[in-house]
Structure 1
Amino acid sequence: MIIMILQLLIVLGALWVGSRYGSLALGAISGIGLALLVLGFGLKPGNPPTDVIYIIIAAVTCAGIMQASGGMDWLIQIAEKLLRKHPDRITFLAPLCTFFLTVLVGTGHVVYTLMPIICDIALKKGIRPERPCGVASIASQVGITCSPIAAAVVAFVSISNANGFDITIPQVLMVSIPASLCGLMAAATASYKRGLDLDKDPVFQARLQIPEQREYIYGSGATTLDKIIPVEAKRAVYVFLAALCVIVLFAAVPSLLPSWDGKALKMNIVIQIVMITAAALMIIFCKASPKKAVAGPVWQSGMVAVVAIYGIAWLADTYFSNYLGEMQSMLTEIVKEYPWSIAFVFFLVSVLINSQGAVVVAMLPLAYSLGIEGAVLLGVLPSVYGYFFIPNYPSDIATVNFDRSGTTVIGKYLLNHSFMMPGLICVTTSTIVAYLLSMLIF
């Protein structure tokens, strides 16, 4: 037992140190923990999550190519037009825009262009930017469990099918999308009158008395409306959307898939084929530059996620697979009485590893081995997003920097930050609604 606890501390220590450095370090430092477990303690290495990695590579390559064509600019421009048309409702509309951008593209890193626009609109309307910015940053990550090409969704389906819970991607989205929207609207409602109005905020008003600060806050703006969107960019978006429709169609109607020896083609392979085919079509017919795609933020952030999931999930699988019997004996009674309590485990692991896909890959097999039903696990799927708790995720940090008013903050005591309240409300509400929907449907 002492050795088991010591090895768990090594796993947690590797994740904690990796999260301090961020980016590629999260996956790389997990490798140190893996080396200690395998080479130092002699544990049998687990399986690296190759299927999930291949899906991420295919999806972010396709999304990166679309961004290189200018298609992402068109999507951002459409969102900006909506927000500027209804500036008084930005606290509700901003999270919806960031949410659906993530659902379409499969990664929350597409929102960096939209965040300064949200802040600019709020400032010009006299709305405290913390209100829409905080919940919009949360929404950009919540959308991951609602995207048909996100690693978390595809991994949930493939792992569930392997453990006897036959479910498709559309069925997951039937639960996760309405549940997440309920959570986001609850968070937006709580944020609607959050904090002091700008004209009553003494700290903000004091900043305005300094000419340089006033110029910094109000002297510039952010917009994409002046960009001319070429026809090739719009064509690339249509190709991308068509690819998503094809994936959803095959997932909804598996009989359309080819089969060999009675076994149909797996959806993880379908997603890879469709995504790289769509990327090729955009290169050929939409003037998308592969070099520009590789240099873009979507492709780069996706490759960082590949390394992170590679190291984290391999480390976690190595530990849990070697102590599966002990885990079952310790946790079976708890999860048998309160199966939904696995949501707290998912949430706490997410706080450590900053990746919803990695949480699913690392923890879902363990959850099934404990005898938890698939419908319960689908119901608690929103709980795999917990990395807002410690505000070190790139989208949260970027949002703080984009808010020129200084109202979106990381507090003095670290945990009293602008994302805590909307994050907790959203994840709690989403998980409760998803659990009820899953119980009702399955």
Structure 2
Amino acid sequence: MLYLEFLLLLVFLYIGSRYGGIGLGVVSGIGLLVEVLVLRMPPTSPPVNVMLIILAVVTCASILEAAGGLKYMLQVAERILRRSPKRVTLLGPTVTYIMTLMLGTGHAVYSVMPIIGDVALKNGIRPERPMAAASVASQLAITGSPISAAVVYYLSQIVQLPGHENITLLGIISVTIPATFIGTMVLSFYSMRRGKELQDDPEYQRRMSDPVWRERIENTTNTSLDETLPSSARNSVLLFLLALICIVIVAMVPSIRTIGGEKISMTPIIQMMMLAFGGIILLATKTEVQKVPTGVVFKSGMVAAIAIFGIAWMSDTYFKYALPSFEQGITQMVQSYPWTFALALFIVSVVVNSQAATARMMLPVGLAMGLPVPLLIGLMPATYGYFFIPNYPSDIATVNFDVTGTTKIGKYYFNHSFMVPGLIGVVVACVVGVLLATFFI
């Protein structure tokens, strides 16, 4: 019966994934209702902390966007790319990686993707090379960001374990940042020689023989440098960076967050810090508050929060109910072959399209099975598997931004531009992460 119930859970996740975003959340709500009222599973608590982290970070980042901060970051990124255009396949993924690391979300990189493609095209470089790598890097960086919901959730759960109270936010990102950055560099180096040269690509040649496509390709110029931004745009970025620095300092110095002899968890600290600095940016830059909900970051973040609301609650309810029956067999398998837990993380991420939701679903399972904490932290990059099926917004947008047609979803669906860079990035990051966690956690 448990296997049939698990199959039913997968069916709801699959149906929801066909709609994506909010659809994934509300269809999971149907599954949750069936689990509780029909299958008589006791409901668990909704993923409130994860949702509040997303709301707080997205609110601050959305105010940053409304203040012109993202445009300022985009101009800085473009200057870096155009200063060394021949290295765009290395610099493009590095830029998107850093943007996600700072903002805690990969949805802010859409604006830089056309510029990466433009720089590549103007220099005769196959755009697929930097663009596909940059899309993967923008998502791989999430498990390295100190303000991402996935990282903060890992921290909040691990510090509750006896003997692991001294695990810190800095300790986790000291593993995940080097691991994911090395993964990004390896996939970028791979990408430098992938595919045919632009002039030899049949799809590019076909488009150049079409007068409409030829005009579009030859006249395409994407730049952000022709817009003069007010000083408030730069100031908003500096304030956002100050927020990140303050979070790291508070994480490093526990006495700051010790009140009345009790240490405050980093989860509410990050929520408070993001809300507070959102307010500081709003007041200091005199940003029009009406602009905040209209930005890309706000819309994408709200969609992510709703998706996680349904996915995590439905999945958590099933796993808490079924784990006692599965625990012995799964534990033996994972303890004999630890990499199989990475595979489980990866497969779940493919279905749910979210690292935070994957962490919320699978970390309690790993902890309940008694898996070593360093292993769980080292395998965090495996929560990024949603490049496998090319339906994630950043991947679809990247395909559409490439006017040459070199970045594509293949005839057989799975032979798409993001598959190999994604696999390389995740595997390398997991191997490096486990090695680093063994020594530093």
TM-score by length of 1: 0.98
The residue that corresponds to 2:140 in the other structure is 142
Q: Which residue in the other structure is 2:203 paired with?
A: 203
CA distance in 2, matches of 1:290, 1:311: 29
1:234 aligns with 2:234: yes
Task: Report the counterpart of residue 361 of structure 2 in structure 1.
Answer: 362
The answer to whether the Cα contact below 8 Å between 1:65 and 1:289 also exists between their aligned partners in 2 is no
1:339 CA drift (Å): 2.7
1:382 alignment counterpart: 381
Give the Cα–Cα distance (whole angstroms) in 1 for the partners of residues 258 and 294 of structure 2. 36
Residues 188-208 of structure 1 show CA distances to partners (whole Å, capped at 9, x for unaligned) of 111111111111223312321
Deviation digits for residues 90-130 of structure 1 (CA, Å, limit 9, x no counterpart): 00000000000000001000001000000001000000000
What aligned pairs does 1:99-118 form with structure 2 within 5 A after superposition? 99-118=97-116
Partner of 1:217 in structure 2? 217
Give secondary structure in 1 for the equivalent of 2:403.
coil
Opposite residue 257 of structure 1, the aligned amino acid is R
Maintained 8 Å contact 1:58/1:276:
yes
Aligned-partner Cα distance in 2 for 1:374–1:77: 40
* CA–CA separation in structure 2 for the residues paired with 1:31 and 1:103: 31
SS of aligned partner of 1:387? coil
Greater CA drift, 248-257 or 392-401: 248-257
1:272-293 CA-to-partner distances (Å, cap 9, x unmatched) read: 1111111111111102222211
Find the aligned partners of 2:304 and 2:26 in 1 and give their Cα distance. Answer: 12
Aligned counterparts, 1:267-278, within 5 A: 267-278=266-277
1:243 alignment partner, SS class: helix
> Which structure 2 residues correspond to residues 344-423 of structure 1 after superposition, within 5 A?
344-423=343-422
8 Å Cα contact 2:85-2:120 kept in structure 1: yes
The CA deviation string for residues 188-231 of structure 1, in whole angstroms up to 9 with x for no partner, is 11111111111122331232122211111121211100111111
* SS of residue in 2 equivalent to 1:413: coil
Instruction: Tell me the equivalent position of 1:48.
Output: 46
**Are 1:23 and 1:304, in contact at CA under 8 Å, matched by a contact in 2?**
yes
The equivalent residue for 2:306 is 307
Deviation of 1:186 (Å): 1.1
CA distance in 1: counterparts of 2:33 and 2:45, whole angstroms: 14
Q: Counterparts of 1:261-272 in structure 2 under 5 Å?
A: 262-272=261-271
Give yes or no for the alignment of 1:189 onto 2:173. no
- For residues 78 and 45 of structure 2, what CA distance do their matches in structure 1 show? 43
Residues 1:297 and 2:303 are matched in the alignment: no
Measure the CA separation in 1 of the matches of 2:161 and 2:342: 19
Contact 1:385 1:427 in 2 (8 A): yes
Q: Distance in 1 between matches of 2:203 and 2:55?
A: 45
What is the CA–CA distance in structure 2 between the aligned matches of 1:247 and 1:305, rounded to whole Å? 23
Give unmatched runs, 5+ long, in structure 1.
Answer: none
Distance 1:172 1:58 in 2: 21
1:85 to 50, 67, 83: 83
Specify the code of the residue in structure 2 equivalent to 1:233.
A
Asked if the contact 2:201–2:406 (Cα under 8 Å) also holds between the matched residues in 1, the reply is: no
Q: Which of 35, 60, 70 pairs up with 1:72?
A: 70
Q: Trace 1:305-344 onto structure 2 (pairs within 5 A).
A: 305-344=304-343
Look up the match of 1:243. Answer: 243
Tell me the distance in 1 between the aligned counterparts of 2:212 and 2:73. Answer: 34
| Matched residue type, 1:398 | A
**1:169 offset after TM fit, Å?**
1.2
CA contact (8 A) 2:203 2:404 kept: no
Task: Tell me which residue corresponds to 1:176.
Answer: 176
Residue 96 of structure 1, aligned match among 73, 91, 94: 94
What do residues 49-90 of structure 1 show as CA deviations (whole Å, max 9, x unaligned)? Answer: 101111110100000000000011000110000000101000
**CA distance in structure 2 between the partners assigned to 1:265 and 1:177 by the alignment:** 24
Rounded Cα–Cα distance in structure 1 between residues aligned with 2:424 and 2:77: 25
After TM superposition, the score normalised by the length of structure 2 is 0.98
Alpha-carbon distance in 1 for matches of 2:357, 2:252: 25
Counterpart amino acid of residue 311 in structure 1: G
Whether contact under 8 Å (2:144, 2:177) holds in the other structure is yes
Identity rate of aligned residues, in percent? 46
Please say if residues 399 and 405 of structure 2, whose CA atoms lie closer than 8 Å, have aligned partners that are also in contact: yes
How many Å separate the matches in 2 of 1:144 and 1:315?
A: 23
Partners of 2:221 and 2:350 lie apart in 1 by 34
Quote the Cα distance in structure 1 between the aligned partners of 2:307 and 2:203: 39
SS at match of 1:323: helix
> Aligned AA for 2:61?
A
How far off its partner does 1:341 sit? 2.1
| Letter aligned with residue 253 of structure 2 | V
* Cα drift, residue 185 of structure 1: 1.2
TM-superposed CA distance for 1:338, in Å, is 2.4
The residue type paired with residue 286 of structure 1 is: T
CA contact (8 A) 1:15 1:29 kept: yes
